[in-house]
């Protein structure tokens, strides 16, 4: 049944105008790839990123100790910014654009692209390309955040060094026609820097200052830097923690795990054993909206007529998979 689904998805692959409407098969694990023999290429540190990421985290720490001096409205605004930027990654770059697990109307795609710029995690096109190679070549040299290189590398280290050449080589061969055909994605890519300055830094800082007289310093360090750093770390925990700690009810032969704590902080993206087993499922989980605000958001968008065609794995297929390759921790199998 699983191959049926894959062929079905491959069969739906089109190009040209309809491309933005299609599904993708580029997120399916490719077991024909083998790492090159011999010594690994040297690790080259990128000092600019090391310095910027250190400054960001020092700024976030300052934001943390400034919390008592922030007004309640500013703290509420911080949560709002957290949720918007998180949705730009989860419902946008991840479930819509990397995996094509549902379809979104133009207004929703515009919202998700703006929200995505607020999250400042590279533009949607680059994010999705890295994410497709992550699924296709998971835990190998061609995986940008290969978790077999340890927690630190999978978490943040991969953004502080040059990429393994295989990531770029395999990434260049990926089918990206669906994203190239999406005008919203290409517009965000063309204007990425400006959109980040406005949405990740200016809007979070200026709204509390203008509307309720918060000090610019507090507004910059809490809804600005602290919120940005927390969203980044919540995202990175999916690559680090959820590839290391948790059960493997669906496939015990792969590293990704079910991690409820990560699911909570990443608004639904911690059911990672399920997600790598069924990457096209719009809920990234067997359990719908449970610990999964992103699924609730996509459901709401469908209810409002702004999204449609959610892909979901059937219960029978999940149970068959649990029985065939699960680690025994899921009782519904
Ligand atoms: C960030 C991203 O944080 C986080 C992503 C996390 C993913 C998580 C997934 C988990 C599941 C989803 C859960 C969501 C949960 C959300 C929860 C929310 C609460 N294929 O890059 P360069 C080309 S970003 C094909 O310079 P270097 C590239 O086009 C944080 N080609 O490589 C270029 O070509 P050309 C902010 C590729 O020199 C050339 O290669 N951003 C691919 O090795 C060189 O590219 C940063 O910190 C590919 N995959 O540098 C910036 N990749 O020359 C970080 C590259 O022709 N990035 N190419 O133009 C960098 O500074 C650099 O990329 C680098 C590597 C230093 C890391
Ligand atoms: Zn993963
Ligand atoms: Zn994914």
> What would the pLDDT profile of 163-182 be if each residue is shown by its tens digit?
999 999 999 999 999 999 99
User: Contact 256/285 with Cβ under 8 angstroms?
Assistant: no
Q: Name the residues around ion ligand 2, CB cutoff 5 A.
A: 256
DSSP state of 21: G
Measured CA distances, 86 to 75, 234, 292 (Å): 16, 9, 12
Structure tokens belonging to residue 161:
């060094």
- Whole-model pTM: value is 0.94
Q: How far is the CA of 214 from the centre of ligand 2 (A)?
A: 39
* Cα gap 174→171, rounded to integer Å: 5
Ligand 1 interacting residues, C-beta cut-off 6 A: 46, 49, 86, 89-90, 94, 120-122, 127, 129-131, 133, 144, 159, 162-163, 167-168, 171-172, 231-232, 234-235, 238-239, 266-267, 269
Q: Which of 168, 227, 263 to mutate to test the pocket of ligand 1 (most atoms within 8 A of CB)?
A: 168
Task: List the residue whose alpha carbon is closest to atom 27 of ligand 1.
Answer: 162
Using one digit for the tens of pLDDT, what is the confidence trace for 241-275?
A: 999 999 999 999 999 999 999 999 999 999 999 99
* Cα gap 143→133, rounded to integer Å: 6
Ligand 1 atom with least separation from CA of 120 = 36
Using one digit for the tens of pLDDT, what is the confidence trace for 25-71?
A: 889 998 888 888 888 899 999 999 999 999 999 999 999 999 999 99
Task: List the residue whose alpha carbon is closest to atom 55 of ligand 1.
Answer: 168
Task: List the residue whose alpha carbon is closest to atom 2 of ligand 1.
Answer: 121
DSSP string, 182-248: -HHHHHHHHTHHHHHIIIIIIHHHHHHHHHH---HHHHIIIIIIIHHHHHHHHHHHHHTGGGTSSB-
Note the pLDDT of residue 22: 59
* Cα gap 184→211, rounded to integer Å: 30
Q: How far is the CA of 126 from the centre of ligand 1 (A)?
A: 6
Shortest-distance ligand to the CA of residue 238: 1
Residue 333 pLDDT level (bands cut at 50, 70, 90) = low
User: Contact 116/305 with Cβ under 8 angstroms?
Assistant: no
Mean pLDDT of 141-160: 98
Shortest-distance ligand to the CA of residue 101: 3
Ligand 1 atom with least separation from CA of 44 = 43
């Amino acid at each position: 049944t699983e191959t049926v689904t894959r062929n079905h998805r491959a069969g739906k692959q089109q190009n040209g105008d309809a491309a933005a409407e299609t599904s993708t098969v580029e997120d399916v694990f490719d077991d024909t790839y083998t790492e090159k023999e011999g010594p690994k290429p040297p690790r080259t540190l990128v000092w600019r990123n090391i310095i910027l990421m250190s400054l960001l985290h020092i700024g976030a720490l300052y934001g943390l100790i400034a919390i008592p001096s922030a007004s309640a409205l500013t703290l509420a605004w911080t949560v709002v910014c957290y949720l918007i930027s998180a949705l730009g990654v989860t419902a946008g770059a991840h479930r819509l654009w990397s995996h094509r697990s549902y379809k979104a109307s133009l207004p929703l795609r515009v919202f998700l692209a703006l929200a995505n710029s607020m999250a400042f995690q590279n533009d949607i096109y680059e994010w999705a390309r890295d994410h497709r190679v992550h699924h296709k070549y998971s835990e190998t040299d061609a995986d940008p955040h290969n978790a077999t290189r340890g927690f630190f590398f999978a978490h943040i280290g991969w953004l502080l060094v040059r990429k393994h050449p295989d990531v770029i080589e395999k990434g260049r061969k990926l089918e990206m026609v669906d994203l190239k055909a999406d005008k919203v994605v290409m517009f965000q890519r063309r204007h990425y820097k400006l959109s980040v300055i406005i949405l990740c830094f200016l809007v979070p800082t200026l709204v509390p200052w203008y509307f309720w007289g918060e000090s610019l310093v507090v507004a910059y360090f809490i809804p600005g830097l602290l919120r940005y750093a927390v969203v980044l770390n919540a995202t990175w925990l999916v690559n680090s923690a959820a590839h290391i700690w948790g059960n493997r009810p669906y496939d015990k032969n792969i590293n990704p795990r079910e991690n409820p704590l990560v699911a909570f902080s990443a608004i639904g993206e911690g059911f990672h054993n399920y997600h790598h087993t069924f990457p096209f499922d719009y809920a990234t989980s067997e359990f719908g909206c449970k610990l999964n605000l992103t699924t609730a958001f996509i459901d709401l968008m469908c209810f409002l007529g702004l999204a449609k065609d959610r892909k979901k794995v059937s219960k029978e297929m999940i149970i068959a998979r649990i029985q065939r390759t699960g680690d025994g921790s899921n009782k519904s199998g």
